[in-house]
């Protein structure tokens, strides 16, 4: 049962046929883990908090730096030097004190991923490195947790929702074996224009909302590709890889 304050806070979406009070309560019961409190994580977490996702977990092991503020809008100048998880919790709690924010000041790895992810319904990958993407994908596949994967570079972005066993996992599209040699050649910071993670991050939140509300069509078996210079999107068909090293045995 929603309180009067909750009805007031979420009034504009409760009046949508697809939401209603029942949908809002589903959001309140939802537990979503955001891995990375950077550009993607900032925006996806903000909108999930605003929309009433009841429990949001934030994973990040870094502190706020000046160069983050061009796109990581969970943070601000006063928080330079602060843990990103602390900063994230302050911002999200101020926006919506009605929800629970859990923080994990760790780098996700094979030792802790399964244990942390197991406490959540859905995972949002808001990462800035491939190595951890593979760890998260592997944990979500083994736990059969939905994973909303996003990535950005420059004016380009990618987004897909992974439902283990129902569509391709991350390794089906970007197998680790073929990535390793490519990635060793990349050096330096990844260039990212200010709005790119904002756009993809909001779409990641939208995927979460679709999953929690069981409405709309999540981006499973298709990867949304974004180009900021032409303001264009392309729906790229993606399929499971037979014998995938990660999800190949899943039905």
Q: Which residues of this chain interact with other proteins, rule CB under 8 A?
A: 36, 38-41, 125-130, 133, 150-158, 172-175, 178-179, 182-183, 185-186, 190-192, 197, 221, 225, 227, 229-230, 232-234, 236-239, 241
Closest contact distance (angstroms) between CB of 144 and other proteins is: 22
Closest contact distance (angstroms) between CB of 67 and other proteins is: 13
Comparing CB distances to other proteins, the nearer of 164 and 197 is 197
Comparing CB distances to other proteins, the nearer of 2 and 69 is 69
CB atoms closer than 10 angstroms to residue 198: 20
Residue 103 has phi, psi (to 5 degrees) of -120, 145
Comparing CB distances to other proteins, the nearer of 75 and 133 is 133
Round to whole Å and give the CA distance between 217 and 221: 11
Q: Residue for token digits 């924010």?
A: 101
Closest contact distance (angstroms) between CB of 155 and other proteins is: 8
Comparing CB distances to other proteins, the nearer of 139 and 152 is 152
Comparing CB distances to other proteins, the nearer of 14 and 32 is 32
Comparing CB distances to other proteins, the nearer of 3 and 178 is 178
CA 161 to chain centre: 10
Comparing CB distances to other proteins, the nearer of 3 and 177 is 177
The per-residue b/e assignment along 109-148, b for 16 or more CB within 10 angstroms, e otherwise, is eeeebeebbeebbbbbbbbbebebbbbbbbbbbbeebbbb
Round to whole Å and give the CA distance between 113 and 201: 22
Closest contact distance (angstroms) between CB of 36 and other proteins is: 5
**Do 84 and 64 contact (CB within 8 A), yes or no?**
yes
Closest contact distance (angstroms) between CB of 189 and other proteins is: 9
Closest contact distance (angstroms) between CB of 77 and other proteins is: 21
Closest contact distance (angstroms) between CB of 72 and other proteins is: 10
CA 74 to chain centre: 14
DSSP H helical ranges for the chain: 4-9, 11-14, 20-29, 39-51, 84-95, 113-117, 130-143, 170-173, 176-183, 196-213
* 237 DSSP assignment: E
């Amino acid at each position: 049962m929603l309180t009067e304050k909750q009805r007031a806070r979420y009034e504009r979406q409760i009046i949508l046929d697809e939401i209603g009070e029942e949908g809002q309560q589903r959001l309140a019961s939802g537990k979503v883990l955001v891995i990375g409190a950077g550009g993607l994580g900032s925006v996806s977490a903000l909108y999930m908090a605003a929309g009433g996702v009841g429990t949001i977990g934030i994973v990040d092991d870094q502190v706020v730096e000046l160069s983050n503020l061009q796109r990581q809008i969970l943070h601000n100048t006063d928080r330079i030097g602060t843990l990103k998880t602390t900063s994230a919790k302050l911002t999200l709690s101020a926006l919506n004190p009605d929800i629970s924010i859990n923080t994990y000041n760790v780098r996700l790895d094979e030792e802790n991923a399964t244990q942390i992810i197991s406490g959540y319904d859905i995972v949002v990958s808001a990462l800035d490195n491939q190595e951890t993407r593979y760890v998260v994908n592997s944990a979500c596949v083994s736990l059969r947790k939905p994973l909303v994967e996003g990535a950005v570079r420059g004016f380009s972005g990618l987004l897909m929702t992974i439902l283990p066993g129902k569509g391709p996992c991350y390794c089906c599209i970007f197998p680790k074996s073929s990535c390793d040699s490519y990635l060793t050649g990349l050096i330096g910071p990844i260039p990212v224009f200010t709005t790119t993670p904002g756009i993809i991050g909001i779409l990641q939140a939208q995927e979460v909302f679709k999953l929690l509300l069981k409405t709309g069509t999540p981006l499973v078996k298709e990867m949304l590709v974004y180009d900021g210079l032409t303001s264009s999107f392309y729906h790229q068909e993606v399929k499971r890889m037979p014998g995938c090293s990660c999800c190949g045995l899943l039905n």
